[in-house]
Amino acid sequence: MPIFNFRDEDALGKVASVDTTNVIVDVENIDQLKRLQVNHLAVLQSSRPGQHLIGLITQVTRKRGIEDIDDDGIGEKTSELNLCKIALIGTMLDRDGDRENVFRRTLESVPEIDANCFSLDGENLTSFMRTLSSVSADGNALTLGKYTLDEHAVAYLNGNKFFQRHAFIGGSTGSGKSWTTAKIIEQMAGLSTANGIVFDLHGEYSPLVGSGIQHFKVAGPADVEAKRTIDDGVLYLPYWLLSYEALVSMFVDRSDQNAPNQAMIMAREINLAKQKYLEDGDKTDVLKHFTVDSPVPFCLDFLMGRLNDINVEMVPGARGEKQGDFNGKLSRMISRLENKISDRRLGFMFHGGVDVLDFSWLEKFITAVLGSSGENGKAGIKIINFSEVPSDVLPLIVSLVARVTFSVQQWTPSELRHPIALLCDEAHLYMPQRNMAESVDDISLDIFERIAKEGRKYGVSLVVISQRPSEVNKTMLSQCSNFVSMRLTNAEDQGVIKRLLPDSLGGFSDILPTLDTGEALVVGDASLLPSRIRIDEPKNKPNSGTVNFWDEWQKPVKDKRLSIAVDNWRKQNIQ
Ligand SMILES: Nc1ncnc2c1ncn2[C@@H]1O[C@H](COP(=O)(O)OP(=O)(O)OP(=O)(O)O)[C@@H](O)[C@H]1O
Ligand SMILES: [Mg+2]
C-alpha cells in the first residue's frame, strides 16, 4: 500500500519553476499559504509513476501588488503572488524491488512545471515518519529520540554510518550535548561486543553505570600516594609511552637557543636508555627493531644521570681538559625535567611505581583500555576521567590515549581488528584551530587529524563534542559526516555549522539559536532526512552541574565549606 493519499483538490499549488535542487510553487489557496511553515515537509508529484519527491519548505512569501489603476484611481485591482520555495531532499518510492515504501536521499527525477505540490501533515506525515523509522530500524538501531515534527515517530539513525565517518555533536553550554552523548553511550553499552572510550574531562559521566560500562580515572596526587592501580580503576600514563616529539615539546623550550641541541641529545639518550632496558631484560628480538618512538619503557634515573653527565662533561683538549660540546647547554632542559618529575600533579606520568616499568605493563594497560565488552569479562565502554590532569598537559595526555588506540588498531592484522569509537567531550580543549594552538597542542592535533583522515580504514571512529564549533580544528570538522547540532547562540558557531550543511539546506540552520534544550538538528548520512529531533533523556543522567542559583541562595549554607576547600586546594585532593 502506498503511504501517500493525496487528492488533487488538496494541493497547495503547482510548480512554477524548477532548478537542480529547488522548486518554487505558486500557492493558489491563501489559507493553505498561511498554514505553511518553514522547515516543514512538502511532497511533489513526480513525472514518474510510483514516485513522490520530498522537499523541505525553505521560504514562504506573499506579495501584493497594485496591478491596474483606473483613470479615476478608484477601481484598483490587486494581484497576489503567493510563493513557496522548497528544497528537494529525496524521493519516496512506492516500491523498490520487493520492498514497499522506500525513501531515498537521491533525486530520481525532478518535478515538472504544473506538477501538484502538497503539504506533508496529519496522517500523511505520520505514515511518512513511520516509514523512515522502520526503514532504518533493522536490528539494534541507534536512536536518539523522536522527530519534533511528529512526536510519535522514533527517529532512527544508521549506526554504521554514524560511526563510520565520524560525527560531531555541537551546542552552546547547557544545550544538552552531554545528555545526548550519554544517550549514545547507553545504547552502545547494550551491544554485546561494543568498544568505545569516552574522554570525560570533568568527571561528568560518573553516574553512567550498568553492564557494558566501566570507569577509569587518570591518577591524581592522592591516587599516586595511595598506590592505587589499574585494578582500582586508576590509570597511569607513563612518560615512556609518549612519542619522542611529545617528550621534546614537554621538556624543551623552543625559544631556548640550545633547543635543537637539546632535542637531538634527548633523542640519542632516550634511544640509549631504551636500548639498555631491552638489553637488561634480554629482549633481543625487540632490540633489533626498536626506534625512539617504540613503546619500550626506560629508566628515568638513567636518562637523568646521562643528561647531567653530558651537561658537565670535560673532554681532553690541546692544552689539558676543555668543556665538552654540550657542556652547560642542557641546564634548562634538565631543570624543566626535574620540575615536571617533582610536580605532584604529574604523578600519573612519573610516579607509577615499578609496575609501569615492567615489560608486560603495556599489554595489561591495553587490555583494560581497549578491550571490548565481553572480552576478558570486561565492559567495552571505558569512561576515562581526566579531571585531575593539569590543563597545560591535557592535550598531550588525551591524545596519548588516542595515539595508543590508533597504533594498536594499526598493528592489528585486519582480519583480527574490532572497531572502536573515541567520544571526545570538550574537544575544543585538545583539538583547537591550528592558529590558536600552542606547541603541545600541535602534537595532539597531529594525532587527531590523522585519526580523522585515516581512522575509518582502521576502524577508529571519532565523535567530536564541543560547545564551540568555531574553536574546533577545521580539518576535524570537515572529516565529520554526521552533525548533531543542538542550540547554538553564538553567530560564529552557527556559521560553522551552516557552512557544513548542503547549500539547499542552508536555511535550515536558522533554527539553531531557537532549538529547545535537548533538541537537535541532525544532518548527515546516518539520518535519512535532515531532521529536528527531540533527544530522549538518558536513563542515567550525567552530572552536568546545572545549578539553580536562585533556589540555592535561599537554602542554608553547608558548614565549614570554605575551610574544607582551602585545605583540599593545598593538598590537591577532594576529600
Ligand atoms: N534530552 C534532554 N531532555 C531534557 N532535558 C535535557 C536534555 N538534555 C539536557 N537537558 C537539560 O539540560 C541540562 C544541561 O545538559 P548538558 O549537561 O547535556 O549540557 P551540555 O551541552 O553538555 O553543556 P556543557 O557544554 O556546559 O557541558 C541538563 O542538566 C538537563 O537539565
Ligand atoms: Mg557537557
Structural domain includes residue 382: yes
Residue spans of beta strands (DSSP E) within 248-319: 314-317
453 CB-contact burial (10 Å; exposed 0-12 / middle 13-18 / buried 19+): middle
**Residue 18 phi, psi (nearest 5):** -135, 135
Mean of pLDDT values over 119-142:
76
496: CATH: 3.40.50.300
Residues 324-377: tens digit of each pLDDT: 888 888 888 899 999 999 998 899 999 988 888 999 999 999 999 999 888 877
pLDDT at 387: 92
**Residue 24 phi, psi (nearest 5):** -110, 130
**Banded model confidence at residue 453, pLDDT cuts 50, 70, 90:** very high
26: CATH: 2.40.30
> Do the Cβ atoms of 390 and 352 come closer than 8 Å?
no
Asked if 106 and 220 sit in the same domain, the reply is no
What is the CA(180)–ligand 2 centre distance, in A?
A: 9
Residues measured by CB to lie within 5 Å of ligand 2, the ion: 177-178
Question: Could you give the 3-state DSSP secondary structure of residue 108?
Answer: coil
Asked if 65 and 170 sit in the same domain, the reply is no
Residue tagged 574553536 (cell numbers): 471
Q: 77 or 350, which is more confident?
A: 350
**Banded model confidence at residue 504, pLDDT cuts 50, 70, 90:** low
Residue tagged 560531531 (cell numbers): 168
Distance CA 432, CA 217 (A): 24
What is the CA(322)–ligand 2 centre distance, in A?
A: 60
Residues 268-289: tens digit of each pLDDT: 999 999 999 999 988 888 888 8
pLDDT at 68: 54
Looking at residue 477, its amino acid is: L
Residue nearest to atom 4 of ligand 1 (CA): 518
H or E element, residue 356:
none
Question: Could you give the 3-state DSSP secondary structure of residue 239?
Answer: helix
Residues 173-211: tens digit of each pLDDT: 999 999 999 999 999 999 999 999 999 999 999 999 988
Asked if 367 and 503 sit in the same domain, the reply is yes
Residues 532-565: tens digit of each pLDDT: 999 999 999 998 767 888 999 999 999 899 999 9
* Ligand 1 closest atom vs CA 542: 17
Residue nearest to atom 31 of ligand 1 (CA): 546
Structural domain includes residue 258: yes
Distance CA 440, CA 392 (A): 8
What is the CA(544)–ligand 2 centre distance, in A?
A: 6
Least confident of 46-60, 102-116, 125-139, 150-164: 125-139
What is the CA(156)–ligand 1 centre distance, in A?
A: 21
**Banded model confidence at residue 133, pLDDT cuts 50, 70, 90:** confident
* Ligand 1 closest atom vs CA 182: 18
Give the count of beta carbons closer than 10 Å to the beta carbon of residue 272: 15
Asked if 448 and 535 sit in the same domain, the reply is yes
Structural domain includes residue 166: yes
Asked if 365 and 455 sit in the same domain, the reply is yes
> Do the Cβ atoms of 248 and 266 come closer than 8 Å?
yes
Structural domain includes residue 148: no
Asked if 399 and 525 sit in the same domain, the reply is yes
What is the CA(538)–ligand 2 centre distance, in A?
A: 14
Asked if 163 and 292 sit in the same domain, the reply is no
Distance CA 51, CA 58 (A): 22
Share of the chain above pLDDT 90, in %: 46
Overall number of domains in the chain = 3
> Do the Cβ atoms of 518 and 176 come closer than 8 Å?
yes
* The most confident of 99-108, 221-230, 378-387, by mean pLDDT: 378-387
From the CA of 537, the nearest ligand is 1
Mean of pLDDT values over 78-90:
83
pLDDT at 382: 95
Q: Of 211, 213, 208, 216, nearest to 369 (Cα)?
A: 216
* Ligand 1 closest atom vs CA 536: 1
Q: Which of 299, 333, 367 is at the close of a domain?
A: 333
Distance CA 110, CA 52 (A): 10
Structural domain includes residue 346: no
User: Which residues pair with residue 63 across a beta bridge?
Assistant: 81
Mean of pLDDT values over 72-99:
78
Asked if 64 and 197 sit in the same domain, the reply is no
Residue tagged 628480538 (cell numbers): 285
Structural domain includes residue 450: yes
What is the CA(519)–ligand 1 centre distance, in A?
A: 10
Asked if 71 and 214 sit in the same domain, the reply is no
From the CA of 484, the nearest ligand is 1
The interaxial angle of helices 331-342 and 244-251, nearest 10 deg, is 100
* Ligand 1 closest atom vs CA 145: 1
Check pLDDT > 90 for residue 461: yes
* Ligand 1 closest atom vs CA 537: 1
Give the chain's count of helices (H) and strands (E). 18, 21
Distance CA 114, CA 58 (A): 19
pLDDT at 9: 84
Check pLDDT > 70 for residue 503: no
Residue nearest to atom 25 of ligand 1 (CA): 173
User: CB under 6 Å to ligand 1: residues?
Assistant: 171, 173-179, 467, 517-518, 535, 537, 542, 544, 546
Residues present in the chain in total: 575
Distance CA 186, CA 255 (A): 47
Q: With DSSP H G I counted as helix, E B as strand and the rest as coil, what are the percentages for the chain, rounded to 5?
A: 40, 25, 35
Structural domain includes residue 115: yes
Q: Which of 120, 136, 167 is at the close of a domain?
A: 120
Check pLDDT > 60 for residue 42: yes
What is the CA(168)–ligand 2 centre distance, in A?
A: 13
Distance CA 261, CA 392 (A): 24
DSSP 8-state symbol, 299: -
Structural domain includes residue 187: yes
Q: Which of 333, 361, 378 is at the close of a domain?
A: 333
Quick one: cell of 66? Answer: 497594485
pLDDT at 10: 85
**Full residue range of the structural domain in which residue 513 is found:** 154-238+352-571
pLDDT at 322: 84
pLDDT at 506: 62
Asked if 210 and 269 sit in the same domain, the reply is no
pLDDT at 140: 63
Asked if 261 and 159 sit in the same domain, the reply is no
* Ligand 1 closest atom vs CA 175: 21
Asked if 374 and 470 sit in the same domain, the reply is yes
> Do the Cβ atoms of 497 and 509 come closer than 8 Å?
yes
